[in-house]
Amino acid sequence: MHNILQKYYNYVLLFFLGLISMSSHGFDRVTGENFTSRSEVIAAHGMVASSHPLATQIGLEILKQGGSAVDAAIAVNAALGLMEPTGNGIGGDLFAIVWDAKTRKLYGLNASGPAPKKLSLEYFQNNNLSEYPEFGPLPVTVPGAVAGWSELHNKFGKLPIKKIFRPTIEYAKYGFPVTETIAYYFELNKQRFQDYPNFKAVWMANGDVPKTGEIFKNPALGRTLEILSEKGLDQFYTGNIAKITADFIQEQGGFLSYSDLANYRPEWVEPISTNYRGYDVWELPPNTQGLATLQILNILESFNLAELGLFSSEYIHLFIEAKKLAFADRAKFYSDPRFAELPIATLLSKDYAAKRREEINPTKAALVDASGLPQHGDTVYLTTADEDGNMVSLIQSNYSGMGSGMTPPDLGFMLQNRGTLFSLDPNHLNVVAGGKRSFHTIIPAFVTINGEPFISFGVMGGATQPQAQAQVLINIIDFGMNLQEAGDAPRIVHSGSSQPSGSQMKNGGTVSLESAFDENIRKELVEMGHTLKYEKGSFGGYQAIMKKNGVYYGASESRKDGQAAGY
């Protein structure tokens, strides 16, 4: 009885806290320096934030059934592969950072797959290919997501996979209504992939891709998930699913083999970090680009950003210049550390940041080799937290929208095209090689204070991710915003001009600003030498969970369909 009364008291308390939050933030829409689109979600026992409301609810139900934060994260990710196939799926890769309350430490998982063993730079040279094809069988790399689920579940799971997959299997069989954002991206992907094999059978079974509010079913994916839940996740790599996948890619002229799938293993890695004004910010090391977030923060740390404020051309200029410097390093050094010795410690050091900081002209934009990789890419980010204090920061993607266009028959998913991020320059660290992992854009993030978990967060969206992650943290730490405001605040995105081959076009790139930045700011930036160009859809998608005084706060991206929910 005492426990019931205590829970009732907690719910009442959180209800009134919610009212207070709404009155101070939630109803003040984009006035002054208050940007929140809605209140933070506050709950005592568990929290889920994802880019799709139905997926969030699935994760919440898993938590209520006694599942761990990892169980909930896997359930949400599986659901997103069905409900948001325009950004992720079991044909893609996965990265995660897990706070384990029992051991009181962070664990990093790199579940990105390598290029097929038999693929080589010589193939491209012999076939006179000067650029890596973006679609088709050649950019297909080993999909790491399902193996990533297996590693996470074996280490931190509580519920059986069968229970974790059940909601998504039901939605795959009986259907769900498509949201507005996903319907928009379905239409874009139709133009790209409708003539590729098996695309229409899965996503245009009724003659067209689903529109907003239409019920969509994917029974083939449901059957695939049923096999994995009944026979084991390893069936994706060693069972009939693997044979169908490999045979299909080789029939299409690609290199992915059954052996590539059967021999794949994800890697547990040590997260890397920097301290920014007393907050320890954690990322995963290369082959991801998380180091860029830490480099940006290191460079900006000596400037009084709080005094400058978000709405100042001085701050925006400094941010863009710091980003350029970090991305120049990203273009040159970020690659698979198993194939080259990378100067990660140097790039992460405060001394190095101080030297790079001296290169910033406070009044003039630099013309530098700003970025080494394409700027597009669709992704999903999710975060979960459970009653025991465990927290998961997880990101998953097929890369270019739905991926490569390669949809194995009767399985209900598309394979990723991460291979396109390799360089074809033999002198580049990121040059393609069999068994090598390409540079990767997707990055989960985490923040601790004095060794205690504070924020699990991420921002999906290709090369936008390190920029937006840094801005979210600056919004919270320097500008004093709450968790929801930090994501809703207008964003700055700089797009570079170089390519993975290392070719350079020294024009300084372009800057996209959201509409809240006024004409005076834009004029001042142009006078500094920046080129402004608004790129729709480049501003990313944010989810976050914060733990404060034993209570969880959740936030979700207002630019997309996302939802944070707790209990």
User: What is the pLDDT at residue 501?
Assistant: 39
Per residue in 107-138, pLDDT tens? 999 999 999 999 999 999 999 999 999 999 99
User: What is the pLDDT at residue 106?
Assistant: 98
Domains of the chain in sequence order:
48-262+387-421 (no CATH), 269-283+290-376+462-566 (1.10.246.130)
* Locus of tokens 């400094």: 318
DSSP per-residue string spanning 80-92? HHHH-TTT--TTS
User: pTM for this structure?
Assistant: 0.91
Question: HEC states along 324-344?
Answer: HHHHHHHHHHCCCCCCCCCCH
Q: Give 182's contacts (C-beta < 8 A, 6+ positions apart).
A: 52, 83, 84, 86, 561
Per residue in 339-378, pLDDT tens? 999 999 999 999 999 999 999 999 999 886 543 334 445 6
What single-letter DSSP state applies at residue 399? E
Using an 8 Å Cβ cutoff, are 528 and 317 in contact?
yes
81 versus 2: the higher-pLDDT residue is 81
Which of 219, 245, 1 shows the shortest CA–CA distance to 116?
245
Q: Give 2's contacts (C-beta < 8 A, 6+ positions apart).
A: none
Question: HEC states along 105-130?
Answer: EEEEEEECCCCCCCCCHHHHHHCCCC
Q: Give 382's contacts (C-beta < 8 A, 6+ positions apart).
A: 48, 49, 50, 51, 55, 59, 73, 76, 77, 80, 392, 394, 395, 396, 543
> Which of 36, 181, 245, 379 is an active site residue?
379
Q: Which tokens hold the place of 343?
A: 């100067």
Element (H, E) at 306: helix 305-308
Per residue in 417-469, pLDDT tens? 999 999 999 999 999 999 999 999 999 999 999 999 999 999 988 889 999 99
* Helix (DSSP H) and strand (DSSP E) numbers for the chain: 20, 18
Q: pLDDT band at 18, cuts 50/70/90?
A: very low
What single-letter DSSP state applies at residue 416? -
Distance from first CA to last CA of the chain, Å, rounded? 19
Give whole-number Cα distances, 132 to 337, 417, 437, in Å. Answer: 21, 10, 15
Specify whether 379 is catalytic.
yes
Using an 8 Å Cβ cutoff, are 518 and 537 in contact?
no
